[in-house]
Structure 1
């Protein structure tokens, strides 16, 4: 096992426990079991050959598309949005397949470019990325769909796909994702427009809002044009506004591990757990958490640089998954971007997200061991 990755994973688990104790202490027992399952996934994945995973990537991706189709047909959504379809019920357990698609997509792209090279008519990846993103967007999980597109773009840029192909890929992927979603009712994604407008209202008087030229009277105009829509925008303002106030009240050193935030914050144990941790540990503790992800990024890039071929792409992609999603989550919590519903890897409560992060760590451990064995042999 890679010592640096193991240290960072343990630190993230510690922050996770601290966040759950501060947010929902009655759930700590169940959360510890979920963390144990995630670490078990790490151990199992670290024993699997990365080369074997790359060889199975096409079949894994086809299977993932089938499962996403099952989610759209038989899946269930949150209580607040009965039209959503994000989880599959397996007995007493609920699985969110889109969390695992991130890993499978990385494996698929690594497999394809290892076989075809970077300057090749890449219709396969276009279909893969577009279908996956479109089906996840149809679940009304636009945040995850957007992140998958961003992760794929990150991989394509880093491995050196020519710009002309990147532009063609981008246009085709957006067209395909839009057409897949077009099969479903447009009303199912109205909440996205609500969140974007709420973000604009929250930042209209900030330096960000002035830089982006947000309308300072946006909410008044919405109230005049459509009072019902304006009310939804006000409701969507609640979560990011509360998160911002909680983090501001944290101070430099926070209020202690057992301190619960004084304000009601929706998803404070999941999507907004960064605000909960900040309140407990202060701005100093939040900075340490960010440094842990920075260390993961640095170590992941080091592992990728010491690897070659498809294995290097896998290491790069999984590093982008873990750290890029963390960056997106923090950006949402601090209201730099609109609310997306993206969790904090290896920290937020949620079985599928924790297990997916654990598996990603495990594959990175396996690649690190492979690199070490090769260097010792040389």
Structure 2
């Protein structure tokens, strides 16, 4: 029987063969989400490509090319870059503490000339890669129940505390939940999970009272009773609910949403774009968006299960967890089921930093699919792997 290109090692390294192994169905789903985002941004921008829709499509196009290019990168290169990327991201977070720009009461940005970036976005991917590398080289006992778990826990908590201090509670929560998800997927003992959950439940009231900033505490109280201050702290949630509820089954139509078009809906192009989707495209539009998100998560997790390497499985699963948490937290926030924490809807909302982070992460996921048969060594010198 003749060997296929995917069973012959030399053939698998050819770029034309790798391109055929890219999950183009997954790429199509991501493109559809971004396309719906561009359509709604066109509408809430006054039925104009400026100022948001054109830039959104341009950024997605560039990030799409980057994602495909990264999917062709050998997983051994990804493996070796994990710790350096984590270290650089951590140093950038420290630099934010020392030299960061203060905007809207938060110190989250680093500026070099006209270029500005938010290092906490890069940490969302860096923490997944670093943990995947650590667990790839750890033994089964180390990943399940061992004092060595202090190492991955410290890797998670240091950036969480730095980001929370900026303050950016939403991003800190994302990093924490993503890291914990990777630890659980890697085989964390259920006794530790149960004890940590119980300790977290006990600590939440103390955290809200003694650790949160005043405006963060107000957001939690407003979430519990937004009607108490309808024109102040509760304004965002109430306007979002009005927009979503008024859309009905099929929506009011593009350009016809009263809350979004008359600027009652705050942050309609970023954090609350999902409310604009439901107002103008109705329940059908909102359901379609969530169905596409669910399909993307399913396809990415399926890729994780195909990987022959532990690193590939954990990296793909962790990246997918970050994406899913974005969707769930933003969706709950917009529906009034969670406090407003400033987490955008990935690929749908306007914004370059989140889109770039998500697409680079999916470049890694695609790379796991393309190189799914690759067995990665647990520990050996970098250049020896390529001999």
Please give the TM-score of this superposition, normalised by the length of structure 2: 0.80
Does 2:353 match 1:352?
Answer: yes
Cα 1:173/1:313, change in 2 over 3 Å: farther
Q: Give 1:153's aligned residue.
A: 180
Does 2:58 match 1:33?
Answer: yes
Kept in 2, the 8 Å contact 1:296–1:323? The answer is no
C-alpha separation in 2, matches of 1:247 and 1:71:
37
Per mean C-alpha deviation after superposition, the further-off stretch among 254-263 and 305-314 is 254-263
Kept in 2, the 8 Å contact 1:127–1:173? The answer is no
Q: Give 1:58's aligned residue.
A: 83
Does 2:280 match 1:249?
Answer: no
C-alpha separation in 1, matches of 2:138 and 2:225:
47
Kept in 1, the 8 Å contact 2:249–2:283? The answer is yes
C-alpha separation in 2, matches of 1:303 and 1:192:
38
| Partner SS state of residue 337, structure 2 | coil
The two structures, once aligned, show a CA RMSD in angstroms of 2.5
Q: Note the 1:225-304 alignment, pairs <5 A.
A: 235-260=232-257, 261=260, 262-304=262-304
C-alpha separation in 2, matches of 1:198 and 1:150:
23
Q: Give 1:124's aligned residue.
A: 151
C-alpha separation in 2, matches of 1:313 and 1:111:
9
Aligned pairs, number: 334
| Partner SS state of residue 239, structure 2 | helix
C-alpha separation in 2, matches of 1:350 and 1:325:
14
Kept in 1, the 8 Å contact 2:304–2:365? The answer is no
Q: Note the 1:83-94 alignment, pairs <5 A.
A: 84-94=106-116
Give the alignment partner of residue 160 of structure 2, picking from 111, 133, 137: 133
Cα 1:17/1:70, change in 2 over 3 Å: same
Per mean C-alpha deviation after superposition, the further-off stretch among 302-311 and 287-296 is 302-311
Shift of 1:275: 0.7
Structure 1 spans left out of the alignment, 5+ residues: 175-180, 204-218, 220-230
Higher relative contact order (CA 8 A, sep 6+): 1
Q: Give 1:362's aligned residue.
A: 363
Give the alignment partner of residue 23 of structure 1, picking from 44, 47, 61: 44
Does 2:294 match 1:328?
Answer: no
Q: Give 1:101's aligned residue.
A: 123
Cα 1:122/1:303, change in 2 over 3 Å: same
> Which portions of structure 1, spanning 4 or more consecutive aligned residues, are displaced by more than 6 angstroms?
167-174
Shift of 1:76: 2.3
| Partner SS state of residue 264, structure 1 | coil
Kept in 2, the 8 Å contact 1:140–1:188? The answer is no
Please give the TM-score of this superposition, normalised by the length of structure 1: 0.82
Cα-to-partner distance string for 1:73-110 (whole Å, 9 max, x where unaligned): 222243xx23x111222332321111121111111111
Cα-to-partner distance string for 1:176-228 (whole Å, 9 max, x where unaligned): xxxxx9xxxx898221101001101138xxxxxxxxxxxxxxx4xxxxxxxxx
Kept in 2, the 8 Å contact 1:19–1:276? The answer is yes
Cα-to-partner distance string for 1:127-175 (whole Å, 9 max, x where unaligned): 111111011111111011011111112222222111344467789999x
| Partner SS state of residue 328, structure 1 | helix
Write 1 or 2 for the structure with the bigger share of helix.
Answer: 1
| Partner SS state of residue 253, structure 2 | coil
Cα 1:90/1:29, change in 2 over 3 Å: farther
Structure 2 spans left out of the alignment, 5+ residues: 1-21, 202-206, 376-387
Q: Give 1:190's aligned residue.
A: 214
Kept in 2, the 8 Å contact 1:254–1:278? The answer is yes
Cα-to-partner distance string for 1:295-339 (whole Å, 9 max, x where unaligned): 111111211111131110011111111122111111100011111
| Partner SS state of residue 364, structure 2 | helix
| Partner SS state of residue 86, structure 1 | strand
Kept in 2, the 8 Å contact 1:242–1:263? The answer is no
Q: Give 1:222's aligned residue.
A: none
